[in-house]
Structure 1
Amino acid sequence: MKVYKKETVQHVNATVEECWKFFSSPRNLQKITPETMGFQITDFDNKSMYAGQIIQYKVSPLLGLKLPWVTEITFVKENSYFIDEQRFGPYSLWHHKHFFEATENGTKMTDLVHYALPLGYLGRIMNSLIVKNKLKEIFEYRVKKVNEIFNSK
């Protein structure tokens, strides 16, 4: 299985606590996800983020096909980091770390995703042709939306 890595770093003009409040709420994920993804939370317990929390979604990453996606929040250190992992969905592996670090001017946010695709060699081709570019597009959109929310004040 080939494991890929995607990392993004963004500086936000807000405190770690303000960033944490926004990003630790699964409800806000839809605000920073492109509409073209058809992202929709289908089940969530409406509680503050905690280790063991299960969140179910529907996503349409390609051709309008609706796919179920289930993630578990596996680790949480308030105002510092959290990790979500796919339990069911389109990837063979999805491990997403979100880090928040105070800086002189606000907060440095780092997203680090390790992922793998099913189907062996065919999955590698799909990553080269489609998946890595789609993830790049999603994270670029996220940077833009986060700038609108936090950095345009």
Structure 2
Amino acid sequence: MPRIELRTVITADREIVFDLSRSIDLHKISTEHTNEQAIAGKTSGLIGIDESVTWRAKHFGIYQNLTSKITEFDRPNYFVDEMQEGVFSEFRHEHHFSDIENGTLMIDVFEYSSPFGVFGKLADMLFLENYMKDLLSKRNQIIKEFAETDKWRKILIN
């Protein structure tokens, strides 16, 4: 099972970074390049414990649906989303937040199992793991950009 761990230092309040990380609206912005849309469940605002969202996105030229649910939640320290339905055999995405000097350390731990047995493992080695790491890195850069500027207000203050 591939495991991706990313550490992002953000010069902003931990509560702001935490809430941006669970914002459906900011997720849409960070995945515009895949035309990702929330089509069922929680489709806007801040997702919380026991809530789910179904995303429709284009990856590798094919539209796919993926439903994930928030299974653990401790604001502003930690939350977990896990796939309920989708193309992966399984995935678990842990989001950790801690105070550091002048800001927040955000740590993502993303573990997944590819479908299709040996072919899925080959896909992981050839391209899928790097593709997923790139998606998560882009998302984290958008969170950082919004948190470190006044842009966060457009997402978190209505």
TM-score w.r.t. the length of structure 1 is 0.88
Report the 3-state secondary structure (helix = DSSP H, G, I; strand = E; otherwise coil) of the residue aligned with 1:68. strand
Describe the superposition over 1:14-52 as per-residue Cα deviations: whole angstroms up to 9, x where unpaired. 11111122122222211222x332211102335643221
Equivalent residues of 1:84, 1:97 under 8 A apart: yes
Equivalent residue in structure 2 for 1:16, among 14, 17, 20: 14
Alpha-carbon distance in structure 1 between the residues aligned to 2:149 and 2:57: 29
Q: Please list the CA deviations of residues 53-109 of structure 1 after superposition, one character each: whole Å capped at 9, or x if unmatched.
A: 11111011111x111110111011010111000011111111000011011110000
1:128 equivalent in alignment to 2:125:
yes
State percent identity of aligned pairs: 22
Task: Name the SS of the counterpart of 2:112 in structure 1.
Answer: strand
Per the alignment, residue 102 of structure 2 pairs with: 105
Map residues 1-153 of structure 1 onto 2, 5 A cutoff: 3-33=1-31, 35-45=32-42, 46=44, 48-63=46-61, 65-151=62-148
Q: Distance in 2 between matches of 1:150 and 1:130?
A: 30
Q: 2:39 and 2:117 mapped to 1: Cα distance?
A: 30
> Is the 1:38–1:61 Cα contact (8 Å) retained in structure 2?
no
In structure 1, the residue corresponding to 2:105 is in which secondary structure? strand
TM-score (normalizing by structure 2) = 0.86
SS at match of 2:60: coil
Aligned positions, number: 149
Q: Which runs of 5+ in 2 are unaligned?
A: 151-158
| Structure 1 runs not aligned, ≥5 long | none
Per-residue CA deviation, residues 131-151 of structure 1 (Å, 9 max, x unaligned), is 112112212322332332234
